[in-house]
Structure formats: structure tokens, C-alpha cells
Structure 1
Amino acid sequence: MELGKVLVYLGLFLLILGLLLLYFPKLFAWFGHLPGDIRLEREGLRLYIPLASALLLSLILTLLFNLLRR
């Protein structure tokens, strides 16, 4: 039964995130543009490695999931 709850919460979270990305794309414009993110742009090559953005997102999601679990 626990797995069912987790899947429902995950589905709701993804639905809300998808709607936010669809209707408010400027909310996430910071992703990939923080200090610590690696961006290489050359002719014929674009490389994005969002290290700082991924760490910040991981921290936010960890806090959110810990709050939902309690």
C-alpha cells in the first residue's frame, strides 16, 4: 500500500511541475545559469553541465519529500 501512495504523490508532483513549466516557463529560467554551472558554446558544439543547479534542485526536492513524508 505504501508504494501506491508514493506513486500517487509522485504523479501529482510531476503533474504540478509539468503545468508550471508549461504555463510559467520563466519560473525555471535560472536552471543552468547559476554560478558553478558549466556552459561551453563553440561552433557545432553546445555543452551544458548544470552542477550548481542540480545541487540546488536536489536540496529543494530532499526538503520537500522529507516534509511530505512526515
Structure 2
Amino acid sequence: MQSFEVIGRWLMFLGIGLVVVGGIFWIMGRLPALQNLPGTIKIEREGFTCIFPLAASILLSIILTVVLNIIARLGGR
């Protein structure tokens, strides 16, 4: 069984990661340009609104792929 120190370290990294991801989503929610990209499907009915940000999802996927590939190459993996 792993020591509590190792488990605590993993929980700290997980918490920091969640704060960073939450901050990114918070900032993205305040940028109106990301909500009005072409390719965003918006369904509005009485008392119901559903938004599918397809273009933003594809854009985010491309950006993350490039960034993670750069990090992996710099890390020697």
C-alpha cells in the first residue's frame, strides 16, 4: 500500500489541475467570441436552452494537441 504522502501529493496535483481547468472554463465563458463561432448549434425552447459548441470543441482539441505534442517533444518522450 502506498504511503499517505504519495496519495496526498496526487490529490494536491489533482486539485491544482481542477482549479486550472475551472479557471480556463470560467475565462472562456466570459469571451463572447467563443460563443458565436460558426458551427455552434443552439437549440432554444420554452424554458430550455442547449448549446453544442462544435467549432469551439474542434479548435480547443487542435490547440491542446499542438501544445501537448510540443511538451512531449521537449520532455524527450
Go from structure 1 to structure 2 and tell me whether the alpha carbon gap of 1:51 and 1:21 turns closer, same or farther (over 3 Å shift).
closer
Q: Percent identity?
A: 36
Q: Which structure has the greater CA radius of gyration?
A: 2
Match for 1:50 among 25, 44, 53? 53
Deviation at 1:14, TM superposition (A): 5.3
TM-score, length of structure 2 as denominator length: 0.56
| Bigger RCO of structures 1 and 2 (CA < 8 A, at least 6 apart) | 1
Report the Cα distance in structure 1 between the residues aligned to 2:37 and 2:24, rounded to whole angstroms. 20
Structure 2 unmatched runs, 5+: 1-9
> Residue by residue, what CA displacement relative to the aligned partner does 1:23-58 show, whole Å, maximum 9, x if unpaired?
xx3xx2233321111011221110111110100000
More helix by share: 2
Count of residues in correspondence between the two structures: 58
TM-score (norm 1): 0.60
Let me know the Cα RMSD of the aligned residues.
Answer: 2.6
